[in-house]
C-alpha cells in the first residue's frame, strides 16, 4: 500500500513513522527544505520544511488532552490520552524527556485557583529548547529515511485529483492520502476541500493580547509548570479567557502578515530577558449571519494595525484602565522594560472591541488573585494577538474525510494547535490508514 503524506511537520512525520514501521511505502512531500538546510533567519524556512512550523521554536511539549488538541471531541479523553502517551514515548526514545512537575505543588496551585473560581490545568510538560529541537528533528528525519521513508522536499503540492497528487514537478498516484499542511497551508487546503467537496466547519479563533510582567511575578508558578495554563470566566460577559504560550524570561515578537501585524512571544535557549510574557486570549465562535471566524479576526487585526500606524500597539495597563493612550514617555516610567520596541504606544480600547477589552481587564484582575502582580500599573499589554485556527475538516473517528482514502491531520485541518496535538492526530490518521479499530 502506498501512502502519500502532504506536509513534513509533526503531524506528517509521526504518521509516516507508524506507517513505515508497519511495512508500508510512504512518500512525504514538503514544499520546504530538509531540516539541515533550513536557516532560522530565512522567511520561507521559518514555517516550511521537514520539522514543520515549530522547528526553530523552543519546543514546549504539552502532554495533556486539554491543551492543543481537538481529538477529545472526536474520540474522547481516554483514547486521546493514549495517543498523547504514544507521542511522548516516541519523543522519549529521541532523548526528550518530560519534566515531572512536583505533584504536591501542582495540587496546591489547583486548590488556590479553585478557591478563586479559576481553572488551573495540571499539564505534564517537556521543554526541548530552541538549541536542541533542530537536532531532534534531524535525528527523526534520519531514522525515517533509514526505515525506507521517501522524503521529497521542495516539492509543493498544487492539486489532488482522482487518486493522484499533482505537484509542481509532476503527478504521483496514491492508495491512501494524508493531508497535513499545517497552518501555513490552511488557505491552500481550504481551496482543495471546497473543490473536492470535503465537509468542514469554521473553527473558533482566539483573540486577545500579550501581557508582559517582571519574570519574578510569575516565577513561583513557572517553576512548577513552565507554561501554566489558567482558564478564567469573566464576570460581565461570562466568556472564558485563558493564558497561552507563557514565555518565562522571554521576548515578544512581531509577526508581519500581508494586511496586518500581530504579536507573539517565545523564550530563547541562548538569551534571557528580565520579563515573562503570556498570551491572554478569548475564544470566539460565530454562528449566523457570519460563520467565517477568520474574516472577523482579520478585520479586527486590520483595524488594530491601522490605528497602530502599521505596527502592533503597546499600552501600560494603568493607561488602559484609566482610558488614556500610552506614549513612550509613559511606557518609560514602567519598571517593565518592553522586549519589543517595534510597536506603537497607543490605546488598545481603540483597537479591540469593547467586549474583549472588558474581558482582558476583568480577567487580569481575577488572575491577580492567583498570581499577585499581574494586575499592576507596571504591566505592559500588547495588541493584537490573534490565533487563527482555520477550517475544521469533518472526519470519522480515524480522521478519514467524507472522501474515501483521504485523511487529514494537524493544525491545517483544525485538529490541533501544537506539536504534541499535531503528532497525536498524525498517529491517529496512520492508524486509520492501517485499518486499525478501537476495541
Ligand X SMILES: Cc1cc2nc3c(=O)[nH]c(=O)nc-3n(C[C@H](O)[C@H](O)[C@H](O)COP(=O)(O)OP(=O)(O)OC[C@H]3O[C@@H](n4cnc5c(N)ncnc54)[C@H](O)[C@@H]3O)c2cc1C
Q: Which residues contact ligand X (rule: CB under 6 A)?
A: 6-12, 29-32, 48-49, 52-54, 57-60, 68, 156-157, 180-185, 188, 266, 410-412, 416-420, 422
The DSSP bridge pattern shows strands 275-284 and 261-266 to be unpaired
Q: Closest separation between CB of residue 60 and ligand X, Å?
A: 4
Q: Which three cell numbers stand for residue 64?
A: 495533556
Which residue, 221 or 307, has its beta carbon nearer to ligand X? 221
**14 φ, ψ (degrees, to nearest 5):** -70, -30
CB of 338 to ligand X, least distance (A): 19
User: DSSP character for 125?
Assistant: E
* Residue closer to ligand X (CB basis): 269 or 373: 269
- The C-alpha torsion from 222 through 227 and 228 to 233, rounded to 10°, is 140
What is the rounded CA–CA span in Å between residue 69 and residue 421?
Answer: 5
Nearer to ligand X, 257 or 328 (CB): 257
Q: Is the peptide bond before 57 cis (omega within 30 degrees of 0)?
A: no
The kind and range of the H/E element at 329 are helix 328-332
CB of 282 to ligand X, least distance (A): 20
d(CA 54, CA 81) in angstroms, rounded, equals 22
Min dist CB 52 to ligand X, Å, is 2
Q: Which is nearer to ligand X, 89 or 187 (CB)?
A: 187
Provide the minimum distance between the beta carbon of 184 and ligand X in the complex, in angstroms, as a whole number: 5
Round to whole Å and give the CA distance between 54 and 277: 19
- Supply the minimum distance, in Å, between the C-beta of residue 226 and ligand X: 10
CB of 263 to ligand X, least distance (A): 12
Is the N-terminal amide bond of 342 cis, ω within 30° of 0?
no
**What beta strand segments (E) does 185-260 contain?**
200-202, 205-214, 229-233, 240-247, 251-256
Q: Which is nearer to ligand X, 113 or 413 (CB)?
A: 413
Burial class (CB in 10 A: 0-12, 13-18, 19+), 7: buried
State the minimum distance, in angstroms, from the CB of residue 100 to ligand X.
Answer: 19
At its nearest, how many Å lie between ligand X and the CB of residue 96?
A: 12
Comparing C-alpha atoms, which of 198, 147, 146, 191 is closest to residue 177? Answer: 198
**Which CB, 170 or 309, lies closer to ligand X?**
170
Least separation, in Å, of the C-beta of 358 and ligand X? 29
Three-state DSSP at 212 gives strand
* Closer Cβ to ligand X, 198 or 419, answer by number: 419
Please identify, using beta-carbon distances, which residue of 68 and 345 lies nearer to ligand X.
68
In whole angstroms, how far apart are CA 156 and each of 115, 143, 176, 405, 411? Answer: 52, 23, 18, 21, 18
Tell me the sheet residues that pair with 313: 344, 383
Least separation in angstroms between residue 247's CB and ligand X is 9
Cβ-proximal residues to 89 (8 Å cutoff; 6+ apart), any chain? none
Check the CA dihedral 412-413-416-422 and report its sign: negative
Q: Which of 202/356 has CB closer to ligand X?
A: 202
Nearest to 249, CA basis, from 224, 215, 285, 226: 215
Tell me the sheet residues that pair with 177: 4, 406
Task: Compare residues 10 and 208 and give the one whose CB is closer to ligand X.
Answer: 10
Residue 204 vs 353, nearer CB to ligand X: 204
Amino acid at each position: 500500500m502506498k501512502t502519500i503524506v502532504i506536509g513534513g511537520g509533526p503531524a506528517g512525520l509521526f504518521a509516516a513513522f507508524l506507517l513505515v514501521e508497519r511495512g508500508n511505502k510512504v512518500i512525504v512531500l514538503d514544499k520546504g527544505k530538509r531540516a539541515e538546510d533550513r536557516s532560522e533567519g530565512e522567511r520561507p524556512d521559518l514555517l516550511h520544511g521537514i520539522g514543520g512550523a515549530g522547528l526553530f521554536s523552543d519546543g514546549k511539549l504539552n502532554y495533556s488532552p486539554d491543551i492543543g488538541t481537538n481529538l477529545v471531541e472526536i474520540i474522547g479523553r481516554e483514547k486521546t490520552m493514549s495517543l498523547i502517551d504514544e507521542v511522548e514515548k516516541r519523543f522519549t526514545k529521541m532523548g526528550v524527556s518530560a519534566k515531572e512537575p512536583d505533584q504536591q505543588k501542582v495540587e496546591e496551585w489547583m486548590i488556590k485557583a479553585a478557591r478563586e473560581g479559576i481553572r488551573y490545568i495540571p499539564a505534564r510538560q517537556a521543554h526541548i529548547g530552541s538549541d536542541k529541537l533542530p537536532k531532534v528533528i534531524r535525528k527523526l528525519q534520519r531514522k525515517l529515511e533509514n526505515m525506507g521513508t521517501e522524503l521529497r522536499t521542495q516539492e509543493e503540492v498544487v492539486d489532488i485529483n482522482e487518486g493522484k497528487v499533482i505537484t509542481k514537478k509532476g503527478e504521483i498516484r496514491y492508495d491512501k492520502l494524508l493531508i497535513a499542511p499545517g497552518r501555513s497551508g490552511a488557505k491552500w487546503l481550504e481551496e482543495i476541500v471546497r473543490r473536492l467537496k470535503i465537509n468542514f466547519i469554521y473553527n473558533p479563533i482566539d483573540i486577545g493580547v500579550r501581557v508582559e510582567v517582571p519574570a519574578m511575578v510569575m516565577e513561583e508558578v513557572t517553576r512548577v509548570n513552565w507554561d501554566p495554563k489558567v482558564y478564567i470566566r469573566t464576570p460581565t460577559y461570562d466568556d472564558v479567557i485563558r493564558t497561552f504560550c507563557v514565555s518565562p524570561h522571554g521576548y515578544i515578537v512581531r509577526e508581519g502578515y500581508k494586511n496586518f501585524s500581530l504579536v507573539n512571544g517565545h523564550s530563547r535557549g541562548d538569551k534571557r530577558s528580565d520579563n515573562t510574557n503570556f498570551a491572554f486570549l478569548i475564544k470566539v465562535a460565530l454562528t449566523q449571519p457570519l460563520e467565517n471566524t477568520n474574516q472577523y479576526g482579520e478585520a479586527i487585526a486590520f483595524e488594530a494595525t491601522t490605528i497602530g500606524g502599521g505596527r502592533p500597539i503597546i499600552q501600560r495597563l494603568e493607561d488602559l484602565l484609566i482610558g488614556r493612550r500610552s506614549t513612550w514617555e509613559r511606557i518609560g516610567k514602567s519598571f517593565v522594560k518592553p522586549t519589543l520596541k517595534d510597536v506603537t504606544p497607543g490605546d488598545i480600547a481603540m483597537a479591540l472591541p469593547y467586549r474583549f477589552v472588558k474581558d482582558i481587564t476583568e480577567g487580569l484582575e481575577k488572575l491577580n488573585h492567583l498570581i499577585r502582580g499581574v494586575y499592576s500599573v507596571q504591566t505592559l499589554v500588547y495588541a493584537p494577538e490573534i490565533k487563527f485556527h482555520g477550517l475544521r475538516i469533518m472526519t470519522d473517528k480515524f480522521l478519514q474525510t467524507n472522501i474515501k482514502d483521504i485523511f487529514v491531520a494537524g493544525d491545517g485541518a483544525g485538529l490541533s494547535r501544537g506539536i504534541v496535538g499535531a503528532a497525536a492526530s498524525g498517529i491517529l490518521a496512520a492508524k486509520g490508514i492501517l485499518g486499525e479499530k478501537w476495541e
